[in-house]
Amino acid sequence: MAKVTLSQGEAIWFKKTGSGPPLLHIHGSAFGHRNFEKLTPLAANHFEVIDFDLPGYGESTGSPRPGGMEGLAEQVYEFICEAGFRKVHLHGTSFGAMIGFCLAANYPDVVDHLVLSCFLARYDNAARMMRGTWKRAALESGMDAVADLTSVAGFARSFYDSEGAQAQLQSMRDAFVQTDPKAFVAGTETIEKTDLSDLTAKISAPSLLLAGDEDNMTPFSPSESGVGMSAIAQQLPSCETKILERCGHYLVIEQPTLAAQYISEFIQG
């Protein structure tokens, strides 16, 4: 585990696991690096996995830079350079996928293969309504309440019948409470303002989109007011798509073995 300091004073915590080509994980909103606590040990069989906390999350300090999602992408680009990596394979999930999308568009030289899971390029009105309830919960009830609300929308129904469901829910609460509620709200408002659909023409990296067929949070095909992965898959020049069955938004938690398999086959194939 280590920290690097960026040009505007942000201190970014990160850790490396495994050996091989570097694979950088960008976590979703509220989680921090623990978003990948099930996926990283599996991916580390093939890659040197880099997990880190965005500014305001977990062990990192600082705030997002101006510019919305592109300001966040700039911070991640600086982190890649300061941590000593010339080029990385990149996997972002949810909020992290949106950041990864901007990073691949604006800094293509540092992205080898691009993996994006469970995200919307533009939120539809239903997703905005859902996020509004989470922002109120964060400020009025705390991040453990946000963990429970997002779990309702984020997991497939069959998840709750699994043996480890309650332990996983508690792990999420533990991860969420390490996030500053104001940082979560700021990240959510950035998401709500973002439309990535115009950036697809700038992405040249081979891309893999991973989706859950029961993802109610960021569905593969949202309503007409949004832009989902179904549309992005048609626009990216070199793109593969995998839709995992009986799986919700928290794909990297529900089906980490299959996700790791698809990622490694895509990058190494």
Amino acid (1-letter code) at residue 215: D
Token pair, residue 115, equals 């993996």
Distance CA(243)–CA(17), nearest Å, equals 27
Alpha carbon distance 212, 176 (integer Å): 22
pTM for this predicted structure: 0.95
Residues 94 and 133: their CA atoms lie apart, in Å, by 18
Whole-number Å distance between alpha carbons of 217 and 150: 8
The single-letter DSSP state of residue 59 is: T
Q: Tokens 């691009």 — which residue?
A: 114
Q: What is the pLDDT of residues 104-149, one digit of tens each?
A: 999 999 999 999 999 999 999 999 999 999 999 999 999 999 999 9
For residue 22, the model assigns a pLDDT of 98
Mean pLDDT, residues 163-180 taken together: 92
Cβ of 3: how many Cβ atoms within 10 Å? Answer: 16
Q: Summarize pLDDT for 39-86 with one digit per residue, the tens.
A: 999 999 999 999 999 998 989 999 989 999 999 999 999 999 999 999
Q: Is the pLDDT reported for residue 29 higher than 90? A: no
**Residue 68 token pair:** 């919305």
The domains of the chain, with CATH numbers, are 2-268 (3.40.50.1820)
Cα R_g (the chain), whole angstroms: 17
Q: ∠ CA 89-25-173 to the nearest 5 degrees?
A: 165
What would the two tokens of residue 166 be? Answer: 């309650």
| Residue 112: other Cβ atoms inside 10 A | 18
Closest CA to 30 of 177, 160, 149: 177
pLDDT for 143 equals 95
Asked if 187 contacts 29 with a C-beta cutoff of 8 angstroms, the reply is: yes
Q: What 3-state class would DSSP assign to 151?
A: helix
Query: Tokens 């549309």 correspond to what residue?
Result: 231
Burial of 165 (0-12, 13-18, 19+ CB in 10 A): middle
Coil/strand/helix, residue 119: coil
The pLDDT of 184-208, averaged and rounded, is 93
C-beta separation of 115 from 207 below 8 A: yes
Express each pLDDT in 199-254 by its tens digit: 999 999 999 999 999 999 999 999 999 999 999 999 998 899 999 999 999 999 99
